[in-house]
Chain A
């Protein structure tokens, strides 16, 4: 790789041992992908909690903090695995919770802003067109590339941390214009009323095109989608298809037209999504033993408007005795929801609001499932319905209001 004088200085130890080690690691990653140079990044979002990194990762971070590791650019953290306020009730391990606290303290020593959110793009930092960032959590990356027109690859925990320490990342993948062209088109004929419908559309496209470099171009939709709708579409595309970018004609900044989104190329394939396709998706979920005792709104964390909508649906209702309904969001949104009364409405209905976590990465989730004898998980998030399988839940995607009805009636249809 071609190194600037600043990068050579970092390699020479001019910015300390930790930055030097980080850059050496980034050069190896860059060489694998044939990167010619580094690009400066303005913002980093990293995944780092005790469940995901284990003791090994924590020891590594402590070592780097001891070597003087400090973030060179604004750096935030993704959702955590332990909710300290609900730890005992959830049956989360006290020893792991202590490690999580040590981990948070270590990250703060490095100047990481521990926001503990997977919706940084809605609540913390919104990069502009062409801005290079290094984000982790696939849902954040696809939102950055697609909706903002910013540029990021999937940056896993160690890679994001390295970018934070050096302030740059190797130029490959979605930092390069050539990879940002649409590769096929999808006409959205379905009305897509609910967030679950958007996730289902993402599932349809993602499952059939599993490829990091596949970039679908959506077109033909009859109105302007909201940020939450694009969030669920992107999260599902990334989860089912490992995709990092989509275009939405007339909506996303690199898609003024189908032709522009395709970068002058011709789509080798044209899909369409109809209401019939969505009906098939919903009816394909097995209801298993019809266990309706776990309903989850998470993956990604809920935005303020999602919380508001849930509060309106749960108002003056109670969840069925024996049912657990979990909502996850970040601390900033929860504080606003307390002010606005949404949190009280939800809690009065019996809903558990978890802060700073995401349901699928909760420490001890498998044990939690066993202790509660949960077999099914019902959610309006196509992403979480996909990724929680490793914990051996049978998962069912339903529209938001239907999920609320399941939680309140105990009946699964």
Chain B
């Protein structure tokens, strides 16, 4: 899932379904469940730190977060929940991947491999 908007698990996400529900969000109605998610930035405050663990526990967490620029809360939250997270884009994802593609993430190498294109 490639988003053009920044991400906050508390402002944007329904924490019971894993759907983006913020009115007017470009991905409103899209599910994050089991997705590898590309977000340009992180939004929101401290409360996001518990939210990833909460959605992981409810089995509605994404597979990984690939941020352009992130913040400490996202990193603390993702690591706490055991969700892989990386930061830093080169090239911009919009040039190489789109929502629905299948990709593999190697967070240690900061490498994304495209496996299969969306149909």
Binding site for B on A (CB under 8 A): 25, 28-29, 32-33, 47-48, 52-57, 59-60, 78, 136-138, 153-159, 172-173, 210-212, 238-239, 242, 361, 387, 389-390, 392
List, in ascending order, chain B residues with CB within 8 A of A138's CB. 45-46
Could you say which residues of chain B place their CB within 8 Å of the CB of A136? 46, 49
Q: Judging by beta carbons under 8 Å apart, are B10 and A157 in contact?
A: no
Q: Assuming the A-B contacts A242-B71, A389-B11, are A53 and B50 also in contact, with contact meaning beta carbons closer than 8 angstroms in the complex?
A: yes
Asked if B53 and A154 make an inter-chain contact with CB atoms under 8 angstroms apart, the answer reads no
5 interchain residue pairs of minimum CB distance: A156-B49, A56-B57, A159-B76, A54-B54, A53-B50
B73 CB within 8 Å of chain A: yes
Given contacts A32-B85, A57-B53, A389-B11, contact A156 B23 (CB under 8 A): no
Chain A interface, >50% SS class: helix
**In chain B, what residue has the closest Cβ to A158?**
B80
Residues of the A chain whose Cβ atoms lie less than 8 Å from the Cβ of B72: 29, 33, 153-156, 159, 172-173, 212
Question: Would you call the interface of chain B mostly helix, strand, loop, or mixed?
Answer: mixed
- How far apart are B91's CB and chain A's nearest CB, in angstroms? 21
- Least CB distance from A109 to B in Å reads 19
Q: Any chain A CB within 8 A of the CB of B63?
A: no
* Cβ contact of B10, chosen from A137, A238, A390, cutoff 8 A: A390
Quick one: which of B45, B71, B75 contacts A137, CB cutoff 8 A? B45
B11 lies within 8 A of A56 (CB): no
User: Could you list 14 further interchain pairs (A-B, Cβ under 8 angstroms) beyond the known A56-B53, A211-B69?
Assistant: A32-B79, A33-B75, A47-B46, A48-B50, A56-B54, A78-B46, A136-B49, A156-B72, A157-B49, A158-B76, A172-B72, A210-B6, A387-B45, A392-B23
A-B contact pairs, 26 of them (CB 8 A): A25-B80, A29-B72, A29-B79, A32-B85, A32-B87, A47-B49, A53-B50, A54-B50, A57-B50, A57-B53, A136-B46, A136-B49, A138-B45, A154-B45, A155-B46, A155-B72, A155-B76, A156-B50, A157-B46, A157-B49, A158-B49, A158-B80, A172-B72, A212-B71, A239-B45, A242-B45
In the complex, the answer to whether A57 meets B71 with C-beta atoms within 8 Å is no
Q: Which residue from A32, A54, A59, A137 sits with its C-beta under 8 Å from B46? A: A137
Shortest distance from the beta carbon of A211 to any chain B beta carbon, whole Å = 8
CA distance A55 to B44 in the complex (A): 22
Closest to B107 in A: A32
In the complex, what distance in Å separates the CA atom of A159 from the CA atom of B48?
12
B15 within 8 A of A: yes
- From 20 to 58 in chain B, residues with beta carbon under 8 angstroms from any chain A beta carbon are 22-23, 41-51, 53-54, 56-58
Measured CB to CB, the nearest residue on chain A to B80 is A158
Note all chain B residues with C-beta closer than 8 A to A57: 50, 53-54
Which of B22, B41, B49, B69 lies at the interface centre, i.e. has the most chain A CB atoms within 10 A of its CB? B49
Chain B residues near A28 (CB-CB < 8 A): 79
Task: List the A side residues contacting B73 at CB < 8 Å.
Answer: 154, 156
* A56 neighbours in B (Cβ, 8 Å): 53-54, 56-58
User: In the docked arrangement, what's the CA distance between A387 and B45, Å?
Assistant: 9
CB distance from B69 to the nearest CB of A (A): 8
> When the two chains form their complex, are residues B46 and A156 in contact, meaning their CB atoms are under 8 A apart?
yes
Interface-central residue, A25, A159, A238, by most chain B CB under 10 Å: A159
**Known: A136-B49, A156-B46, A157-B46. Is A53-B75 also a contact (CB below 8 A)?**
no
CB-defined contacts of A389 to chain B, threshold 8 Å: 11
User: For the complex, what is the distance from the CA of A28 to the CA of B42, rounded to whole Å?
Assistant: 19
One of B42, B44, B75 near A32 (C-beta < 8 A):
B75
In the complex the two chains form, is B76's CB within 8 Å of A29's CB? Answer: yes
Residues of B within 8 A of A54 (CB): 15, 50, 54, 57-58
